[in-house]
Amino acid sequence: MLRKLFAIWIAKSVIFIGKILNKKTTSMPGVLALKICPNIIRILSKFIKKEIIVVCGTNGKTTVNNILCSFIENYRIDNCEKTIVVCNKFGANMPSGIVTSLIEKTNIFGKLSADYACFEIDEAYVTKIFDFLTPHVVVITNLFRDQLDRYGEIDSAIKLIENALKKVKNSKLVLNADDPLIAEFGLEKFVIEKTDENINLSEMDTESKHVFYSKEYSFKKKENIYYFGIDEKISDNMDEVREGRFCILCGSKMYYEYYHYGQLGKYFCENCGYKCPEIDFAAKDIVFGESFKINEKVVKFLRWGIYDIYNVLAALSAISVCGIQVDFLKVHYPFQLGRMEEIGLNNMRVFLNLSKNPAGFNQAIHTILKKEEFKSIIIVINDNVNDGKDVSWIWDVDFEKLNNDKICFIGVAGSRFYDVALRFKYSEIAVDYFSEDIKQTICESFKSRAEVCYILVNYTALFTTRNIILEIRNNFNKNELKCC
C-alpha cells in the first residue's frame, strides 16, 4: 500500500516537474513507478468503472486509440456531465506509458476515478501487460513488417499476439477481417482429411516428391469475436511487397479477389479453405473526403487514405461492441501530432507525416499523389534505437511512384540520409538535395515552385522535424524572410 502511494507520488512529481520545464513526460514517470511498485498496473486498473479497451497492431494504433478516446469522452453516461477516460494518447505504448497515463488520472491518495480506459500497447509488451490488466475489448488493426530488428520476423509478431490472447480468453476481440494474418485469431479450425487424389503435388520437376500441404479445414467463428473490414473494391492493385502471400495455415498460395493495400483485401486459399471471414462491421459506399457507410449507417469521412477508413472503422466497431451509442455522423478526428499534420508557413503548406514502415510509407505516398498540386517531398530517416537500427526496409517502399511530374523537389535528410539517397539513385529518381541536416533540406525545398511540402519522417525524426518547422514558422512570423 505504502509502496503504491510512494510510486504514485514520485511519478506525479516527475509529471509536475515536466510541466514546469515544458517537457513531455509520457514514460519516465511510469518507469520510476514500475520500479517502486511493479504491480501498479493491476492496482490502478481495478479502479476503472466500465470497460478497458486495448488497441494492438502495426499501424494505426495511436489514431484508433485517440478516436476511441475522443468518442467516449463525448459520451454521456446516465446524463452525467463528464466521462473520464484514461488513455495513452501520445503513443507511449510500453508498460511505462500505460502507468504514466493511469497515474495522471490518480489523486495523491492513490484513488483513480475513471469510467473507461483506452490503451494502445506495443506488440512486444501485450503478453506482459495482460498479466496485470484484463481488457474487456481488444482491437487488432493489422500486421505489417516493421522493425524486424526488434521482432525478428513478422511470424514472431504473430506469435507474440497469439500468446497474449491466450491470457485474456474472456475478452471480446475486434479483428480486421481483411488481414489474413489477423483474422485467423478469431477462428476455430476443424481438419477435414483429404483423400490422396486431392493432394496438390508441386508442378515442378519431381525429383523428390515432398508433399507439404494436405490438410483442409472448416472454420467456425469463436465466441466473442467481431470482425471489421472494407466490403468493396476501392483501390487499383498496387505493386508492392506484401506479407501473407502464402496461406498462414497451409503454406500454399493465397488468392485475392482484390487488394486494399499490403496483404489487406478479399483473400481465399484454394487449398485449405481459409478465407476472409464474414464481416460484422462492413464499410461500404466509400467516397474519399466525404463519407462511407458502416452497416448502412452513414459516417462522415473527411480523409483521403485507405488506412483512415480502417482507423475510423476499427474505433467505431470497438465502440459498438462496448454498447456505447454514438452518432456516426459526428466522427471527430482528434488532433494528432505528425499524422498528416498541417502546419501553415507563410504561403507554403507543410504536411508532416510519421511513416515508419513500408506499408505506412506506401500509403502516405499513395495519399499524397491523389492531390493535384505541385509538391515537394522530403524524407527524413533516422536509425536511433526507437526507430529500429535497420533501415533496409526503405528498399521495400515504392519510391518509384515519386517519378511524377507534379513533384518538383525531392529532399532526403536524417542520420541515414545516404541510405535513402542510394535507394533513389538505384531507382533513377533524381534527389534535389540530401544532407543529414533536416532544416537545411526543408529550406532548400522552399526554393522550388511547389505549393505544398510533404515531409515523411520516421519515429525519432518526428519531434525534431516538427520543432524545426515550428522554428521556421516563428522566423517567418518575425518577418525574417530568410528562413535558414
Partner 1 sequence: MVVNILHMYPDLLNLYSDRGNIECMKRRLLWRNIDANVIELTTESENIDLNYVDIIFIGGGSDREQKIVCEKLLCIKNKIRKYVEDQKVLLAVCGGYQLLGKYYKIKDEMLEGLGILDIYTESSDKRIIGNIILENELFDNKIVGFENHAGRTFNNCYKPFGKILIGGCYNNFEFEGVMHENIIGTYLHGPLLPKNPLVCDHLLNKALKQKYEEFLSLSKLNDDLEISANSLFCKKFLGKRKF
Q: Residue numbers of the site for partner 1 (CB under 8 A)?
A: 145, 148-149, 152-155, 202-208, 210, 212, 241, 245-246, 251, 253, 389-390, 392-396, 418-419, 421-423, 425-428
Please identify, using beta-carbon distances, which residue of 213 and 374 lies nearer to partner 1: 213
Please identify, using beta-carbon distances, which residue of 335 and 426 lies nearer to partner 1: 426
Output the smallest distance, CB 166 to partner 1, in A.
Answer: 20
Please identify, using beta-carbon distances, which residue of 74 and 415 lies nearer to partner 1: 415
d(CA 260, CA 274): 18
Q: 53: Cβ–Cβ under 8 A, 6 or more apart, which residues?
A: 68, 116, 117, 118, 119, 135, 136, 137, 138, 139, 318, 322
Q: What does the buried/exposed string (b/e) look like for 258-294 if buried means 16 or more CB atoms within 10 Å of the residue's CB?
A: ebbbbbbbbbbbebbbbbbbebbbbbeebebeebbbb
Please identify, using beta-carbon distances, which residue of 203 and 296 lies nearer to partner 1: 203
Output the smallest distance, CB 376 to partner 1, in A.
Answer: 21
d(CA 442, CA 454): 10
Three-state DSSP class for 98? helix
In Å, what is the CA distance from 475 to each residue of 74, 84, 224, 437? Answer: 38, 39, 55, 18
Please identify, using beta-carbon distances, which residue of 212 and 335 lies nearer to partner 1: 212
Output the smallest distance, CB 154 to partner 1, in A.
Answer: 7
Output the smallest distance, CB 360 to partner 1, in A.
Answer: 15
Output the smallest distance, CB 120 to partner 1, in A.
Answer: 25
Please identify, using beta-carbon distances, which residue of 28 and 181 lies nearer to partner 1: 181
Please identify, using beta-carbon distances, which residue of 122 and 308 lies nearer to partner 1: 122
Please identify, using beta-carbon distances, which residue of 148 and 326 lies nearer to partner 1: 148
**Ramachandran region, residue 333 (left: φ > 0; alpha: ψ -120 to 50; beta: rest):** beta
d(CA 59, CA 98): 19
State residue 116 phi and psi, 5-degree precision.
-130, 165
Please identify, using beta-carbon distances, which residue of 238 and 422 lies nearer to partner 1: 422
Output the smallest distance, CB 433 to partner 1, in A.
Answer: 13
Query: Are 240 and 362 spatial neighbours (Cβ–Cβ below 8 Å)?
Result: yes
d(CA 305, CA 318): 20
Output the smallest distance, CB 425 to partner 1, in A.
Answer: 6
Burial class (CB in 10 A: 0-12, 13-18, 19+), 75: middle
Please identify, using beta-carbon distances, which residue of 224 and 435 lies nearer to partner 1: 435
Output the smallest distance, CB 210 to partner 1, in A.
Answer: 4
3-state class percentages of the chain: helix first, strand second, coil last, to nearest 5: 35, 20, 40
Query: Are 323 and 333 spatial neighbours (Cβ–Cβ below 8 Å)?
Result: no
What does DSSP assign to residue 402? G
Helices 306-321 and 358-370 cross at an angle (nearest 10°) of 110
Output the smallest distance, CB 143 to partner 1, in A.
Answer: 13
Strand partners, 287: 291
